[in-house]
Each structure stands twice: as structure tokens, then as C-alpha cells.
Structure 1
Amino acid sequence: MPTTKPHYTVIVDEELFKRIEDFRFKNRYPSRSAATVDLILLGMKAIEEQQKKSKGESD
């Protein structure tokens, strides 16, 4: 089914591809895209929390 959401291609090495696939199957994601989106969101959340923590320490 076509989507109107923006999309792009990501090129990864074999090891990262395997890690993404392992994460996908372990967590029963319906597609590689769904798993990749959640991994990106998890990473962004972790970075945001780390930045908040760093700002709190510097105050």
C-alpha cells in the first residue's frame, strides 16, 4: 500500500544490518522499517535524556 509519509534509503554495513534484523525478529516487528523507526526513536530519546542530564549537571 503506498504511503504519503516521507521516506529515504539508509545504507548500513553487514554487521549493523544483522543487528537490526535480530532486533526486528526478537521484538516481532512486522517490517524492517518499523523496527528501524523504533530504533531511531529510542536513540533520539536516549540522546535527549543525556543532553538534559548534562545541562542539569552544568547548572
Structure 2
Amino acid sequence: MKFASFIYNNKNTWGIVKDGQLVSVDEAILKEVPTLRSAISQKKLMEVGQDLAKSLEQWQ
């Protein structure tokens, strides 16, 4: 699992990413950005752990 921070409703918030899915985040965020990929495509993702960033490179 890795920590990731997001912009949601113009506020910084956080989540945990496990196996490419957001977990332990506010229910409203899960409805809008249920996956890491959707958070990236909607430009909601601010930062991720280094290991996760390496994994993202493999997805692209």
C-alpha cells in the first residue's frame, strides 16, 4: 500500500492505494475517482510513493 494525496473540491485530501485501487478514502471521492488511473486522468492525483510511480510507468 502507498499513500497518495489528491485535490477534491479544491481541497487537499489523501488516500491509500492498494493494487491500483483507492482504499480508505472519503466515499465521495471513491464515486468520482474509484481507481488510481481515473485519478490520474482527471488530474486529481498530486503525489504518490516512489514504488507506485515506478508501477505507473509500466502501465503506460
Normalising by structure 1, report the TM-score. Answer: 0.25
Larger radius of gyration: 1
Higher relative contact order structure (alpha carbons within 8 Å, sequence separation ≥ 6): 2
Structure having the higher strand fraction is 2
Normalising by structure 2, report the TM-score. Answer: 0.25
Structure having the higher helix fraction is 1
